[in-house]
Amino acid sequence: MGGYVPFSRITAVLFRMILKVWAYSGLVLIVCFLLYYMYGGIFAVLLLFFAVTGKLCCYMMTQTLYKMSFLGILYQVQDSLLFNPELPSHSRVYVPIPSTFNLPYESIVTKTADGIQINMYLILQQKDRQHTAPTIVFFHGNAGNMGHRLQNCVGLYHNLQCNILLVEYRGYGLSEGSPSEEGLYTDARAAIDYLYARSDINHSEVIVFGRSLGGAVAIDLAIRPEYVGKVWCLIVENTFTSIPDMAKVLLGWRILQYFPLFFYKNKFLSYQKVKQLRIPTLFISGLADILVPPRMMLELYNRCGSIRKQILHIPAGTHNETWQIQGYYHSIAVFLQNCRLKSFAESDKRCESDTLKSMWTNVQDV
């Protein structure tokens, strides 16, 4: 999901859970010792009474409390397992800037509906193309910050001749707050609202792009009734069907298949949401992805409700580096060109089709 949490981090989180349970157990022992010290014989008699008459009941209650405590702690640490804004180190304090890659940009700070300030980079084409160029809204994976995606943006900017809005989720980079599923959805809506508040952007061609975790965010945005008319097309890359499905893959615990959905604090149920998609959608699947199984991308494609959907299989594409494979940008350009021609055919603007075709004819096959 942009950089899944390593096994060492999972071990560290589980170790912290064990320490918490140990601390609570130690606290209970101290309380018992103080009670015995203060009340002596009375306490001993009560213990004997419970041992004789309620041993089984107490055992069951104790086991239940331990299980509930364990599950409660595990529920609370799910955010730490899924969201990794501090990987690699210093990602919360240092965010690379587009000018490092000779990309003209504006640094944006906007406020979400729930009052959180998030940061964004708006990378703009030259003035003569800025107003007519499509704009890609880029939602990244679960680790690092938006600056770590700038090399990919160089290719998108020059090959697709698009403006790019890089969105920094809450709790990532220099954005305020802490990440959560609903929080990321709110951030995505704030990004679209910001674009539509500008008069120098082509609102008719807003492309929502999401990689890994960002794919789940993009899908949620694209199905919301109030935003369906604001999104021209959707591109998702190496994303998953749901967090419960990914937990089964990454942890390999058979018991997880019996856990109900409410056990999961973050769900990202993309496999259900794609059924509601109605806009043109491109699924980019790196078949060498060893984090998100490619079969999940195929499942999303098959479940997708859009009549204009396409899946692009890239045999050598890995989870985070599919964009480096030859033919990547060319394939996206073909998809966008088809979307544009279809849009203008539906609006009966055939006279402009030659101009439209020419925009992506010189895309480098890299």
Q: Is residue 170 scored above 50 in pLDDT?
A: yes
Q: Whole-prediction pTM value? A: 0.81
Over residues 165-191, the mean pLDDT reads 98
**Active-site residue, 212 included:** yes
Q: Using 50, 70 and 90 to split pLDDT, how confident is the model at 7?
A: low
The pLDDT value given to residue 254: 77
Q: Confidence class of residue 186 from pLDDT cuts 50, 70 and 90?
A: very high
Q: 354 catalytic, yes or no? A: no
Active site residue 289: yes
pLDDT of the residue at 8:
67
| Euclidean distance between CA atoms 255 and 224, whole angstroms | 34
Q: Decide if 121 contacts 166 (C-beta within 8 A).
A: yes
Residue 67 has pLDDT above 50, yes or no: no
Quick one: pLDDT band at residue 346, thresholds 50, 70, 90? Answer: confident
Domain boundaries, the chain: 7-76, 98-358
Q: Which residues 6+ apart lie within 8 Å of 335 measured at CB?
A: 233, 235, 280, 282, 310, 312
Q: Which residue out of 187, 245, 289, 306 is catalytically annotated?
A: 289
Instruction: Tell me the helix, strand and coil percentages in the chain, rounded to 5.
Output: 50, 15, 35
Q: Please give the average per-residue pLDDT across 255-259, as a whole number.
A: 76
Q: For the structural domain made of 98-358, what CATH number should be given?
A: 3.40.50.1820
Say what the pLDDT of residue 70 is.
46
Q: For the stretch 124-156, what's the b/e string if a residue is b when 16 or more beta carbons lie within 10 angstroms of its beta carbon? A: bbeeeeeeebbbbbbbbbbbbbbbbbbebbbbb
pLDDT score at 31: 63
Give the pLDDT confidence score for residue 80 in this predicted structure: 86
pLDDT, tens digit, for every residue of 188-224?
999 999 999 999 999 999 999 999 999 999 999 999 9
**Predicted local distance difference test score (pLDDT) of residue 97:** 98
Sequence-distant (≥ 6) Cβ neighbours of residue 249 within 8 angstroms? 293
Q: Which of 148, 175, 187, 319 is catalytic?
A: 319
Say if residue 314's pLDDT is above 80: yes
Q: Which residues contact 36 (CB under 8 A, 6 or more apart)?
A: 43, 44
pLDDT band at 251 (very low <50, low <70, confident <90, very high): confident
CA-CA-CA-CA torsion for 15, 16, 17, 22, nearest 10 degrees?
Answer: 90
From 212, 242, 270, 285, the catalytic residue: 212
CB distance 150 to 223 below 8 Å = no
The mean per-residue pLDDT over the stretch 299-320 comes to: 98
Tokens linked to 185? 């959805």
Confidence of residue 342 (pLDDT cuts 50, 70, 90): confident
User: How far lies 196's CA from each of 163, 252, 357, in Å?
Assistant: 14, 44, 26
Reply yes or no on whether the pLDDT at 149 is more than 70. yes
Overall average pLDDT of the 290-300 stretch: 97
Residue with tokens 């999303």: 300
